[in-house]
């Protein structure tokens, strides 16, 4: 089962699986989705319950404690989807990650994977960037160090903005790629096996490892260098991967296709001291070979934080510049207080010398 936390996470989870569980502090947002499985996290104010977390992860984190035990039970062995920029997804997931980090060793079958939607730092609000920085360097880093999470998928909003995609098109692209990836074990069991082996158990063990996961899929040309093809076809919705620690691939061959094509792929990973989990199957519906590949890497969240910090600093500098540009200089008024006092005294019929003496005693002239 898929669990969607917050507004963005709920929408994505529902698109991926209409039987998903959605978690939110806003009843209004949850009512927009047709799923029957809903968890309402309580906040202290009625307005907060209706309006959500308003970009404040503190509200989401406080609300987590009202559903702590239920949520910890629901996420066992499942995929959690949330956005790191807002308040509800970030805050509730922060509470969840902190709780997982403090647990005793979690069995592989019970580990939770996380699909995180990161803001595009160059164009999204500074609050989203700051929320994400705190999330990456705090709870996400801790759960990775504890070893108590499964794979972590780092999706980025970059392509949504640079390609001017609508939110629905962008969400659908993420969902389609996740569906393709999670179809690997089903294909491994249903299609005729030619070499290797990937079943549900192999796939679950791979996804139970606490590393970042970059997966992609593309038409494979046996006559072309595999590494070049891989680099040309990295998943544009995920952050680019580092050197893989582990890998998994499923190669689908058309009927009467070249079975030996997978040797080049194995050699590529052997050069990186990686022994992949793999399967080669016959898919009579294809005209060309197709590969789905996943690479696990261990780039530290602190390195990701540095990327976001650089952009966050640029956001701050831009705000300061804009503030300075909008500052309206006031004209400097040159006032001779003695002359003004004498003028005022004449108009009021007062003694000019007495007023001058008073101003001199006060140190005004």
Could you tell me which residues come within 8 angstroms of residue 187 by beta carbon, excluding any fewer than 6 positions away? 250, 252, 281, 283
The Cβ of residue 275 has, within 10 Å, a number of other Cβ atoms equal to 10
Residue 308 lies in a domain: no
Out of 150, 182, 214, pick the residue that ends a domain.
Answer: 182
Please check whether residues 176 and 193 belong to one and the same domain.
Answer: no
Contact 259, 195 (CB under 8 A): yes
Please check whether residues 293 and 347 belong to one and the same domain.
Answer: no
Out of 157, 182, 207, pick the residue that ends a domain.
Answer: 182
Total domains in the fold of the chain: 3
Out of 282, 300, 318, pick the residue that ends a domain.
Answer: 300
Helices (H), 56-125: 57-64, 68-74, 88-101
Please check whether residues 173 and 217 belong to one and the same domain.
Answer: no
Please check whether residues 37 and 132 belong to one and the same domain.
Answer: yes
Residue 26 lies in a domain: yes
Residue 322 lies in a domain: no
For residue 112, the domain's CATH number is: 3.40.50.1440
Contact 245, 213 (CB under 8 A): no
User: Given this model, what pLDDT does residue 334 score?
Assistant: 63
Residue 342 lies in a domain: yes
User: Given this model, what pLDDT does residue 320 score?
Assistant: 45
Nearest CA to 299 out of 227, 338, 350, 245 is that of 245
Please check whether residues 171 and 193 belong to one and the same domain.
Answer: no
User: Given this model, what pLDDT does residue 126 score?
Assistant: 85
Residue 227 lies in a domain: yes
Residue 312 lies in a domain: no
Contact 52, 29 (CB under 8 A): yes
189-245 pLDDT tens trace: 999 999 999 999 999 999 999 999 999 999 999 999 999 999 999 999 999 998 999
300-324 pLDDT tens trace: 666 666 666 666 566 555 554 555 4
**Which stretches of the chain drop beneath a pLDDT of 50?**
47-48, 320, 324, 328, 330
Please check whether residues 151 and 4 belong to one and the same domain.
Answer: yes
Residue labelled with tokens 């909003």:
157
Please check whether residues 11 and 160 belong to one and the same domain.
Answer: yes
Please check whether residues 293 and 334 belong to one and the same domain.
Answer: no
Residue 19 lies in a domain: yes
pTM assigned to the model? 0.82
Cα-based torsion angle of the residue sequence 123, 153, 211, 59 in order, rounded to the nearest 10 degrees: 70
For residue 249, the domain's CATH number is: 3.30.1330
Q: Domain range for residue 109? A: 1-182
Please check whether residues 47 and 102 belong to one and the same domain.
Answer: yes
Residue labelled with tokens 């990686």:
274
Please check whether residues 169 and 209 belong to one and the same domain.
Answer: no
What order of strands is seen across the sheet that includes strand 79-83?
Answer: 37-40, 21-24, 2-5, 79-83, 113-118, 152-156, 212-219, 290-297, 246-253, 277-282, 192-196
User: Given this model, what pLDDT does residue 340 score?
Assistant: 72
Please check whether residues 27 and 136 belong to one and the same domain.
Answer: yes
């Amino acid at each position: 089962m898929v669990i969607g936390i917050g507004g963005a996470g709920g929408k994505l989870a529902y698109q991926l699986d209409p039987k998903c569980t959605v978690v939110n502090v806003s009843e209004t947002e949850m009512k927009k989705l047709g799923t029957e499985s809903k968890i309402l996290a309580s906040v202290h104010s009625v307005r907060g319950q209706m309006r959500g977390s308003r970009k404040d992860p503190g509200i989401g984190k406080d609300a987590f404690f009202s559903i702590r035990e239920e949520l910890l039970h629901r996420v066992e062995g499942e995929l959690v989807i949330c956005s790191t920029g807002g308040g509800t997804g970030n805050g509730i997931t922060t509470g969840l990650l902190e709780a997982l980090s403090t647990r005793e060793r979690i069995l592989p079958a019970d580990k939770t994977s996380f699909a995180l939607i990161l803001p595009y730092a160059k164009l999204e609000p500074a609050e989203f960037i700051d929320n994400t920085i705190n999330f990456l360097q705090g709870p996400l880093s801790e759960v990775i160090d504890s070893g108590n999470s499964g794979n972590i998928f780092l999706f980025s909003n970059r392509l949504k903005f640079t390609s001017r995609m609508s939110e629905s098109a962008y969400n659908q692209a993420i969902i389609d790629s996740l569906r393709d990836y999670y179809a690997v074990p089903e294909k491994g069991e249903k299609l005729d096996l030619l070499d290797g082996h990937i079943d549900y158990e192999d796939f679950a063990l791979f996804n139970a490892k606490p590393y970042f996961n970059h997966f992609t899929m593309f038409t494979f040309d046996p006559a072309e260098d595999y590494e070049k093809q891989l680099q040309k076809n990295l998943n544009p919705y995920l952050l680019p991967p580092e050197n893989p620690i582990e890998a998994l691939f499923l190669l689908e061959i058309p009927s009467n296709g070249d079975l030996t094509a997978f040797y080049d792929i194995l050699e590529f990973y052997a050069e990186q001291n990686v022994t992949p989990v793999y399967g080669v199957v016959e898919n009579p519906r294809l005209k060309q070979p197709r590969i789905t590949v996943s690479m696990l890497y261990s780039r530290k969240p602190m390195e990701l934080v540095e990327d976001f910090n650089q952009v966050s600093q640029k956001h701050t500098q831009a705000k300061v510049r804009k503030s300075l540009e909008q500052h309206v200089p006031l004209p400097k008024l040159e006032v001779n207080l003695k002359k003004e006092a004498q003028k005022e005294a004449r108009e009021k019929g007062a003694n000019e010398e007495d007023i001058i003496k008073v101003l001199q005693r006060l140190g005004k002239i």
